[in-house]
Structure 1
Amino acid sequence: MPPAIERMARSFLRPGQEGHRGHRKIQIQRVKFSESHCNSEDIEQNLEFIGEAKKKKRLEEMLVGAEPPIIVFVNQKKAVDVLSKSLDNNGYRVCSIHGGKSQEQREWAMNSFKEGRYDILVATDVAGRGLDIEGVQRVINFDMPKTIEDYTHRIGRTGRAGLKGLAISFVTPEDSEIFYDLTNFLKSSNQVIPPELASHPASKFKPGTVNEHGQVMGRKLVDQVVFAKK
């Protein structure tokens, strides 16, 4: 359930009173990694806390010498176009897909990427679910997804069919709403949790909940770099 909907539900639902049953909340402790040909433990997950303005330069540093094929995920269609054009201008063989492109354009880009004519695919979540692309070496979350479900689908593009994969995620202060679920997912997939994430208040409470001091959880992170490795 998206955090905004959960907060709205809490504002309408009330605990049960005498003679009446109140609402019930059923919470699944572990998010299942349901990709059919991969295992989250086969994917090394690195988190890099970074300011928004530094993302592009850091991405270009990461791509130097990186073995293709590589998928870079962003959240907005316009950002896909801007980033893919920038990488193309810097000499990378890059294609892109997002929901604003026609089905024919998306199929052409995807087939070209699968056939090795391009080394990098820049995409929104339209490429995050159900696509089996052989041999993807790494996934880079240029933008963190809003939900842990989208995160698992994105990183599931690598580490498939018994192969090892690498997933790198750029994390900004605005991403705190996913910290709680992200922490639990890292635990469930036997990854090391960065101390900066483990100690952050937002990793201990679901977003929108109130702690014992009356504070609404979901505070911002400072700009820093850490890695979470298996």
Structure 2
Amino acid sequence: MLKMGFQQQVLDILENIPNDCQTILVSATIPTSIEQLASQLLHNPVRIITGEKNLPCANVRQIILWVEDPAKKKKLFEILNDKKLFKPPVLVFVDCKLGADLLSEAVQKITGLKSISIHSEKSQIERKNILKGLLEGDYEVVVSTGVLGRGLDLISVRLVVNFDMPSSMDEYVHQIGRVGRLGQNGTAITFINNNSKRLFWDIAKRVKPTGSILPPQLLNSPYL
């Protein structure tokens, strides 16, 4: 909430609650800027860290694929037709609302899978119903912007596909964290190309130690 523009609202709330009220800050990642702000809001806090700081969960298998933009849809359809990889419901992340709508339509048309899109332009009731359908198995593929990228225990999801590479490694960690919930294993597949070159170093740093094989285009990139 602090990072998403609600800093002032949080501060206003804290000013109007008793001083002895217990405050708990929970996050999968915590950038330095938020850490500094949190230190001003919390008094003598006890810090509990599970796993490695700002790193993906260990039971999420990360697959990084080099895919140029024109080939992304074809690669996604191949994944959805792969019996070893396809474990519905699948959550596909894209970077814009129109892209979510168009890709969802294409998935249903080409693969025949029941697909739907979700993003901030849909009403709260629509989003609630889509989320309910996702959890109950009504949809085989859900194409989402970042609205489903944080704070949700989607325990039925076993496969996440980052069709568009997130804009930051924090977002990457959150989005692939929709699988591997409650100790379960999951798979996260991410498409990258030179459009994500500013993140190449971070991708290599965070993903390579897990044993995942990185594409040679990334390893040999002058941007690494």
Q: 1:42 aligned to 42, 56, 59, which one? A: 59
Match of 1:227? none
Q: Does 1:101 align with 2:118?
A: no
Match of 1:141? 162
1:54-73 Cα distance to aligned partner (Å, 9 max, x none): 11111111101312111000
CA distance in 1, matches of 2:94, 2:132: 20
- Gaps (5+ residues) in structure 2? 1-31, 36-51
Match of 1:114? 135
Q: Is the 8 A contact 2:94 2:144 kept in 1?
A: yes
1:7-31 Cα distance to aligned partner (Å, 9 max, x none): xxxxxxxxxxxxxxxxxxx899x85
User: Mapping of 1:41-190 within 5 angstroms?
Assistant: 41-64=58-81, 65=83, 66-90=86-110, 91-187=112-208, 189-190=210-211
CA distance in 1, matches of 2:105, 2:218: 33
Partner SS state of residue 179, structure 2 = coil
**Which amino acid in the other structure matches residue 105 of structure 2?**
K
Partner SS state of residue 165, structure 2 = coil
Q: How many residues align?
A: 172
CA distance in 2, matches of 1:104, 1:202: 44
TM-align CA RMSD: 2.1
Match of 2:28? none
Q: 2:221 aligned to 200, 216, 222, which one? A: 200
TM-score (norm 2): 0.71
Identity, in percent, stands at 35
Choose between structure 1 and 2: higher helix proportion: 2
Q: Is the 8 A contact 1:95 1:113 kept in 2?
A: no
CA distance in 2, matches of 1:107, 1:177: 35
Match of 1:32? 54
Distance 1:174 1:117, change over 3 A: same
Match of 1:21? none
Deviation at 1:136, TM superposition (A): 1.1
Match of 1:7? none
Higher deviation after alignment, 56-65 or 71-80:
56-65
Deviation at 1:158, TM superposition (A): 0.8
Q: Is the 8 A contact 1:40 1:189 kept in 2?
A: no
CA distance in 2, matches of 1:160, 1:92: 24
Q: Is the 8 A contact 1:74 1:142 kept in 2?
A: yes
Match of 1:222? none
1:85-130 Cα distance to aligned partner (Å, 9 max, x none): 1112231111221111111111111111111111111000111000
Match of 2:42? none
Q: Is the 8 A contact 2:64 2:214 kept in 1?
A: no
Q: Is the 8 A contact 1:44 1:166 kept in 2?
A: yes
1:127-174 Cα distance to aligned partner (Å, 9 max, x none): 100011113111001110110000000100111211111111111221
Q: Is the 8 A contact 1:136 1:158 kept in 2?
A: yes
Q: Is the 8 A contact 1:41 1:190 kept in 2?
A: no
CA distance in 2, matches of 1:185, 1:143: 18
**Which amino acid in the other structure matches residue 69 of structure 2?**
E
Partner SS state of residue 182, structure 2 = coil
**Which amino acid in the other structure matches residue 84 of structure 1?**
S
**Which amino acid in the other structure matches residue 60 of structure 1?**
F
TM-score (norm 1): 0.69
